[in-house]
Each structure stands twice: as C-alpha cells, then as structure tokens.
Amino acid sequence: MTLLVVGASGFLGGELCRQAVAAGDRVVGTYHSTTPDLPGVRLHRLDVRDRAAVHTLVAQVRPDAVVSTAYVYADWAVTADGAAHVALATVAVGARLVHLSSDAVHAGRPEPYGDDEPPSPVFPYGAAKAAAETAVRAIDPGAVLVRTSLIVGEGSKQIQLCLDALDGRATLFTDEIRCPVDVVDLAAAVLELVPSDHAGPLNVAGPDAVSRAELGLLVARRLTASVGMKTTTSAASGLRRPTEVRLDSSRAAALLRTRLRGVTELLAG
C-alpha cells in the first residue's frame, strides 16, 4: 500500500510514518518548514494552503490512503482550508482519507461527548477544526474524522508544557479536563482505521479524564519532582478555551485491536 502522510514532520505524523514503514508500506510524507529525519519515507515539501500544489502532489503520488494531520493552532487557512484541499485532492484519486480532528471542536461540559455529536466550538482553533470537519465530510462522506485529545509521549508538546510548569514558566489549569492519548497508540489506531470502512467522526482518546494540573502532577511524580509547579483554575474565563471535554472512546475501543492506554497507566512509575 502507498500511504501519504500530510504533516510527516509533525509529532503524530512522524510516528505514523515510522509505524507504516515498519509494517512494510510505501510511505510518502510531507513537511512544510522542517525536514524530518524519517528513514524509508519519501519526503516532499508542501504548503496545504496551496490548493493546486496539494492537487499536483497527490496526483503524482497516487496514494491508496492519505492521513491528513497538518495544522497550525492559530492559522485558519492551514487548519481549515488546508484540510479541505487535502480532501479534494484525495477524492480526485479515489484514495481512502483519514482526517485528524480534535476534542477542541466541543464547547465543554461535565458529560462525556459521544462520537456523533456535532461541533460546538467556542474558540478560534476549535472553530477551524470544526470547519475542517465540515469541509472534509462534505467532500468525502467516506472519510474518517479522528477526534483526539492531548497527544502525549516522548517529545510531546503537552508534556513539555508540564515540564515548563514545573519550572514555573507555564501554568496548568485545574479546570481544563481532557483525555490524553499516547502518540504510539494513536498512530496505531489511525493506521488500523485506514483499511477499515468506518466513516464519519470517531473519538480516539485515552480512557482517563484528567485536568492539565493532574497531568502535570503525574509527570512530576514520574520525575519525582513537584516543587514549583504552578496550577490555577480559570481556564475558561482567562483563555477562552473549553474547560471539561471528555471524549467517550468506547466505540473505538470496541472497533480497534489497538489498546488506548490511559494516562495514569502511561505515566505510572
């Protein structure tokens, strides 16, 4: 199988490439600003904002499947328009599309969100991810929209934020609840979804709902150091981000062989 990973230079994209190469796939990856070191992957520079360039590259590669991960937190054109361009180019060659979405599409509430709940974004990043979902679904109703949460693991920016908080350089909120997932588990789940016929949104996150502050404490305990960690409430009022977003990933857990480990297990010991 030929797999095209859009955003191969990213945290998840790199892990997707490594696992797909190890599985024997022909892997083509894209980067935008940073050339990644990914043995066995044919790399191309691509700006997903350039609709014609996306079309040309996908037409050249003729992949069997495309995993679309590219985004920039505060850039609508990359996150939303870019995702639409990737979807248009993918349907043009008849390839399978797995699009990476986010729990950020939800407004936040105490009850967990099911897979099929419509987006209710309350901040620009969530709105851009919701717009991307809408575009991708309209262009390719057969695409999977993987809604995931904080991606953790070696080199994760979420773990780096915890380490920064331990040094007093960042603040972790006690009222910002998420369901972290390990990058290795998430990549394996995404690659399992490629040959499946699942269509539409699917929550793929860990089973443990923790606040960013609790995540920081788990990281601190692992390092046996918790002094200096700054925590506070007020995520919603201060930063205009949704507070409690729990993804119910039970459908994915039943569908996939990959076990989605909780963060308590991941960071134990």
Ligand X SMILES: NC(=O)c1ccc[n+]([C@@H]2O[C@H](COP(=O)([O-])OP(=O)(O)OC[C@H]3O[C@@H](n4cnc5c(N)ncnc54)[C@H](OP(=O)(O)O)[C@@H]3O)[C@@H](O)[C@H]2O)c1
The token duo for 126 is 């969530």
Identity of the residue, 7 or 220, whose beta carbon is nearer to ligand X in the bound complex: 7
Q: Does 12 bind ligand X (CB under 6 A)?
A: yes
Beta 210-211 vs 177-178: how paired, if at all? Answer: antiparallel
Q: Does 211 bind ligand X (CB under 6 A)?
A: no
Q: 26, 44, 49, 51: which one contacts ligand X (CB under 6 A)?
A: 49
Residues in contact with ligand X, shown as a per-residue x/- string from 157 to 196 under the rule CB under 6 A: -x--------------------------------------
CB of 10 to ligand X, least distance (A): 2
Q: Does 10 bind ligand X (CB under 6 A)?
A: yes
Q: 20, 41, 46, 131: which one contacts ligand X (CB under 6 A)?
A: 46
Q: Does 11 bind ligand X (CB under 6 A)?
A: yes
Q: Does 85 bind ligand X (CB under 6 A)?
A: no
The token duo for 136 is 């991708």
- Nearest C-alpha neighbor of 129 from the set 96, 65, 84, 175: 84
- E strand segments, 69-213: 96-102, 144-148, 151-152, 171-173, 177-178, 181-182, 200-203, 210-211
Q: Are 180 and 205 in contact (CB under 8 A)?
A: yes
CA distance 231 to 252: 32
Residue 240 phi, psi (nearest 5): 50, 50
Identity of the residue, 80 or 225, whose beta carbon is nearer to ligand X in the bound complex: 80
Residues touching ligand X, count (CB under 6 A): 28
The token duo for 213 is 């502050």
51 Cβ contact list (under 8 Å, min separation 6):
81, 85, 88
Q: Are 25 and 3 in contact (CB under 8 A)?
A: yes
Q: Does 100 bind ligand X (CB under 6 A)?
A: yes
Q: 17, 84, 149, 161: which one contacts ligand X (CB under 6 A)?
A: 149
Q: Does 9 bind ligand X (CB under 6 A)?
A: yes
Residues of this chain that bind ligand X (CB under 6 A):
7, 9-13, 31-34, 46-49, 69-72, 78, 82, 100, 102, 129, 148-151, 158
